[in-house]
Amino acid sequence: MNVYLDESGDLGWSLDKPYRSGGSSRYLTIAALIIPKTLAHLPKRIIRKTYKARQLSSSEELKGQYMSKEETNKFIQKVIHLKKREPSITLSIITVKKENVQPHIRSDANKLYNYMVNFAILQEIKECPVVDFIPDPRTIKVASGNSLVDYLKTKLWFELNSATVIKHIPVESKKNLTLQFIDFIAHVVWSRYENNEYDSYRLLRPYITERHLFF
Specify whether the CB–CB gap between 1 and 125 falls below 8 A: yes
CATH class given for the domain over 2-213: alpha beta
Beta bridge partners of 4: 33, 134
Residue 176 class from Cβ within 10 Å (0-12 exposed, 13-18 middle, 19+ buried)? buried
- Cβ within 8 Å of residue 23, ≥6 positions away: 12, 14, 15, 16, 17
Q: How many helices (H) and strands (E) does the chain have?
A: 7, 6
CA dihedral for 131, 35, 62, 69, sign (positive or negative): negative
Tell me the C-alpha distance between 5 and 30, whole Å: 7
Fill in the amino acid letter for 68: S
Tell me the C-alpha distance between 11 and 98, whole Å: 8
Query: Taking the domains of the chain in order of start, what are their residue ranges?
Result: 2-213
Q: What is the residue-level pLDDT of the chain in tens, covering all 215 positions? A: 999 999 999 989 999 999 988 899 999 999 999 999 999 999 999 999 998 888 776 666 777 777 888 999 999 999 999 999 999 999 999 999 999 999 999 988 888 999 999 999 999 999 999 999 999 886 555 455 568 899 999 999 999 999 999 999 999 888 899 999 999 999 999 999 999 999 999 999 999 999 999 99
